[in-house]
Amino acid sequence: VNNPLAALQTVAANKRAQFNYPLIGITGSNGKTIVKEWLYQLLDATYNIIRSPKSYNSQVGVPLSVWRMKSEHNLAIIEAGISQIGEMRTLKDMIQPTVGILTNIGDAHSLGFISQQQKLEEKIQLFSTADTIIASADDPLIFETLDKQHRDKLLLWGKNNNAHIIITDTAKFEKGTQLDLTFKNQKYSFLLPFKTHDLLENGMQVIAYLLLIGWQEKEIQKEISGFSSVNNRLEIKDGLYNS
């Protein structure tokens, strides 16, 4: 072929079209792999899951991930990462998510965009086929853009009173952070085993999806208590001679 990458992506898009089971598509500046792995940890006992290996979310990584989809699976979790304008259109055609999760919009991979708005607009192209989009309502840029373009698809969470899942209170303890929520006129309380903002944000993405598919409070609490760490691409290791 004249363009091996384009051929690989075309084949992957056709592979994806063979299956109609749910597919969670995850994008954002940070946290994609953590959210994917936590969802896998929680849902693996219930579903036969195909997921992106490691951080395979690039123009090459996504088709290699999609290529692993088989008829015996009944849920897919695929992450998508971009670094410049035009890239998400290709990834969207290969992933075609039924549920989309937007982790956040930060400074990572910003060199290929003229603004955060442009980067956000590019990323949310992934969700054109999604029935539901999960995201934070506390970032004004995300809230206003998604509300304008995808209002009927949204499942937003946060302290914002316009969110669907409202965080009414937070309390930090030695073992983690307690989040009190309201969703569909019901109250929930969850203890997450960490305290940092980024991990709490990632944890809320997972809780929102579990509430979406109908999990009960006790069931969710039992599973999130066992969240395990996820290896990052960049890690600090102790070297020789205190390096």
CA dist list (Å): 49 to 46, 69, 178, 201, 216:
9, 9, 29, 23, 21
Instruction: Say which amino acid occupies 37.
Output: E
For position 112, what pLDDT does the model report? 77
With cut-offs at 50, 70 and 90, classify the pLDDT of residue 141: very high
CA dist list (Å): 189 to 16, 114, 204, 221:
38, 40, 12, 8
Average pLDDT of span 127-154: 96
Tens digit of pLDDT for each residue in 185-240? 999 999 999 999 999 999 999 999 999 999 999 999 999 988 876 766 666 788 89
% the chain with pLDDT above 90 = 85
Choose among 105, 98, 116: nearest CA to 213. 98
| 52 vs 59: CA distance, rounded Å | 13
Q: Are strands 49-51 and 75-79 parallel, antiparallel or unpaired?
A: parallel
With cut-offs at 50, 70 and 90, classify the pLDDT of residue 242: confident
For position 228, what pLDDT does the model report? 74
For position 108, what pLDDT does the model report? 63
Average pLDDT of span 22-49: 96
Is 89's pLDDT higher than 70? yes
Average pLDDT of span 134-148: 96
With cut-offs at 50, 70 and 90, classify the pLDDT of residue 184: very high
Is 47's pLDDT higher than 70? yes
Tens digit of pLDDT for each residue in 153-172? 999 999 999 999 999 999 99
Question: How many Cβ atoms are within 10 Å of 97's Cβ, its own excluded?
Answer: 26
> Hey, which residues does 155 pair with through a beta bridge?
134
Average pLDDT of span 55-62: 96
Is 117's pLDDT higher than 90? yes
User: Regarding predicted confidence, which is higher, 107 or 60?
Assistant: 60
Is 42's pLDDT higher than 90? yes
Q: Structure pTM?
A: 0.92
